[in-house]
Amino acid sequence: MFQLSQKTNYKTFRGVGTLEQQMSYSHQSMGSGSRNARGYEFGRTYVVRPKGKHQATLVWLHGLGDNGSSSSQLMESLRLPNVKWICPTAPLRPVSSLGGFTCTAWFDVGEISEDGHDDLEGLDASASHIANLLSAEPADVQVGIGGFSMGAAISLYSATCYALGRYGTGHAYPINLRAVVGLSGWLPGWKSLRGKIECSYEAARRAASLPIILTHGTSDDVVPYRFGEKSAQSLGMAGFRQAMFKPYEGLGHYTVPKEMDEVVHWLTTRLGLEGSR
């Protein structure tokens, strides 16, 4: 079965009701869901409050069929006391790769291939929802986006929207991203990205200024390693000079503590976070 949800060696919980009962005081639900301008019904959003000085806010995006509640548990376990985590839940929608089966998905996806079709409407709807979640953050707080698998794809797509200054629809992208994390994912729209960035001095400037980290397991049998590697290469060729690619030998389609420690170190360095080591 085609599976793009996140597995991890950290303690996880199955079942939203059970998880809500076990949430710590630092979690806050932002409501049962919201509908954005394009009519997509997003699920519940969970927030992990910073334990120290609030220096950064990151949205973390789950994989296919997962939800924001499980993401919040993983984020709370990271040694980043000055980061606020916002963990939304994707809309329920039919997914082509699952034969039309309905589950939580940030956009529709078929076969992941170099000739695959990108669901631009779904990508823009989710990117817009995520930007809206970050729009109310204080001006002195740095903001970023990260995710796993399909969540990583949306994170990288948001990075391209930031660089271009607009969504695929042409509407202005409103968020000043300072960091993007993509684990075991891929870059939608990679074929045309370079041409779009090279057409604009401002887009090239923004692309060059945005720190991005991509990680991928060499034994990933869901999103093959070559797509992670190709995504990093495409970003570099398009002018994302601070895009870093980290392979993990023998790792499948899941996360491990060593990988998450790498993300913690990278965010601490790139965002200049205090007290995170």
What amino acid positions are annotated as catalytic residues? 149, 220, 253
Tokens of 119: 């669901």
> Is beta strand 101-104 parallel, antiparallel or unpaired with respect to 34-35?
unpaired
23: left (phi over 0), alpha (psi -120 to 50) or beta: beta
Listed in sequence order, the residues at least 6 apart from 138 whose beta carbon sits closer than 8 Å to its beta carbon are 54
Q: How many CB atoms within 10 Å of residue 59?
A: 27
Give Cα 69 to chain centroid, integer Å.
15
Closest CA to 267 of 133, 83, 130: 83
- Torsion sign across C-alpha atoms 61, 64, 70, 75: negative
Number of Cα atoms under 13 Å in the Cβ half of residue 246: 17
DSSP 20-44: HHH--TTEEE--S-EE-TT--EE--
The DSSP call for residue 117 is P
DSSP 57-83: EEEEE--TT--HHHHHHHHHTSS-TTE
Closest CA to 133 of 185, 203, 84: 84
Q: How many CB atoms within 10 Å of residue 100?
A: 10
